[in-house]
Amino acid sequence: MLRARRQERCFAHGIHPPEAKDDTRDLPIKQFPFAPVMIVPLLQHIGKPALPVVREGQEVARGQVLAEPDGFMSVAMHAPASGVIQRIALAPGISGKMTPAIFLQPFAGSSQEVGEGVPCELASATPAEILLAIQQAGIVGLGGAAFPTHVKLKVPADSRIDTLVINGVECEPYLTTDHRVMIEQQADIFIGIRYLLKVTGAERAIIGVEANKRDVGAALQSALPADLPASVEIVAVKYPQGAEKMLIRALLDREVPSGGLPSDVSVVTVNVATTAEIGRLLPHGRGIQERVITIGGPGIRKKGNYRIPIGTPLRFALEYAGMAERVSRVFLGGPMMGQALSSLDIPITKGTSGFIAFTDAQTAPQPEYPCIHCAYCVDACPLFLNPSQLGLLSKAGEYERMADEYHLMDCFECGACSYVCPAHIPLVQRFRAAKGLVRKRRGSA
In whole angstroms, the minimum distance from the beta carbon of 416 to other proteins comes to 8
Decide: is 436 part of the binding site for other proteins (CB under 8 A): no
To other proteins, the closest distance from the beta carbon of 297 in angstroms equals 9
Q: What value, to the nearest 5°, has the Cα angle with vertex 58 and ends 53 and 63? A: 65
Among 89, 118, 372, 396, binds other proteins (CB under 8 A): 372
Residue 146, Cβ neighbours under 10 Å: how many? 20
C-beta closer to other proteins: residue 92 or 192: 92
What's the min distance (Å) between Cβ of 400 and other proteins? 17
Cα–Cα distance measured from residue 164 to residue 169, given in angstroms and rounded to the nearest whole number: 15
Nearer to other proteins, 225 or 436 (CB): 436
Helix, strand, or coil (residue 166):
strand
Does residue 95 bind other proteins (CB under 8 A)? no
Toward other proteins, which CB reaches closer, 26 or 360? 360
> SS3 for 349?
coil
Kindly identify the residues of this chain, within the stretch 314-333, that bind other proteins according to CB under 8 A: 315, 318-319, 323, 325-331, 333
Which parts of 14-43 interact with other proteins (CB under 8 A)?
Answer: 15, 17-18
Closer by beta carbon to other proteins, 27 or else 323: 323
Q: Does 89 bind other proteins (CB under 8 A)?
A: no
Per-residue binding letters, 146-185, with other proteins (x by CB under 8 A): ---------------------------x------------
d(CA 394, CA 411): 14
Q: 269 φ, ψ to 5°? A: -115, 140
Distance of closest approach, residue 383 Cβ to other proteins, in angstroms: 4
- State which residue, 85 or 327, has the beta carbon closest to other proteins: 327
Nearer to other proteins, 302 or 424 (CB): 424
3-state secondary structure of 303: coil
CB of 141 vs other proteins, minimal distance in Å: 18
Residue 420 beta carbon to other proteins: minimum distance, rounded to whole angstroms: 5
Residues numbered 374-433 forming contacts with other proteins, rule: CB under 8 A:
374-376, 378, 381-386, 388-389, 406-407, 410, 413, 415, 418-424, 426, 428-429, 432
Cβ closest to other proteins, residue 172 vs residue 210 = 172
Residue 44 CB, nearest approach to other proteins (Å): 19
Q: Which is nearer to other proteins, 286 or 430 (CB)?
A: 430
Spatial CA neighbour of 283 closest among 118, 428, 61: 118
CA distance 40 to 410: 32
Strand intervals (E) in 344-411: 354-359
Contact stretch for other proteins (CB under 8 A) within 104-112, 152-160, 197-205, 255-263: 255-263
Q: Applying CB under 8 A, what is the total number of residues that bind other proteins?
A: 72
Give alpha helix (H) positions in 201-233.
Answer: 214-223
Q: Which of residues 106-145 bind other proteins (CB under 8 A)?
A: none
Q: Which is nearer to other proteins, 21 or 245 (CB)?
A: 245
Provide, rounded to whole angstroms, the least separation between the CB of residue 263 and other proteins.
Answer: 14
- Residue from 257, 345, 395, 396 that binds other proteins (CB under 8 A)? 257
Q: State which of residues 128, 223, 366, 395 lies at the interface with other proteins (CB under 8 A).
A: 366
Interhelix angle for 177-184 vs 272-281, to 10°? 40
Closest approach of other proteins to the CB of residue 406, in Å:
8
CA-CA distance, 380 to 249, in Å (whole number)? 16
Q: What DSSP designation does 412 have?
A: -
Does the footprint of other proteins cover residue 361 (CB under 8 A)? no
Contact set for other proteins, span 277-316 (CB under 8 A): 315
Question: 428 to each of 59, 279, 315, 333, how far by Cα in Å?
Answer: 45, 36, 28, 16
The answer to the question of residue 337 lying near other proteins (CB under 8 A) is: yes
Q: What angle do CA 289, 79, 119 make, to 5 degrees?
A: 65
Q: Pick one of 341, 348, 390, 402: the residue that binds other proteins (CB under 8 A).
A: 341
Distance CA 66, CA 125 (A): 25
Question: Cα–Cα distance between 374 and 357 in angstroms, integer?
Answer: 32
Describe the crossing of helices 214-223 and 177-184 by its angle, rounded to 10 degrees: 30
Give the residue ranges of DSSP H helices in 68-185.
Answer: 127-136, 149-153, 177-184
Does a cis peptide bond (omega within 30 degrees of 0) precede residue 240? yes
CA–CA gap between residue 201 and residue 250 (Å, rounded): 22
Between residue 227 and residue 246, which ones bind other proteins under the rule CB under 8 A? 245
Contacts of 49 (CB under 8 A, 6+ apart): 41, 42, 43, 67, 70, 74, 99, 100
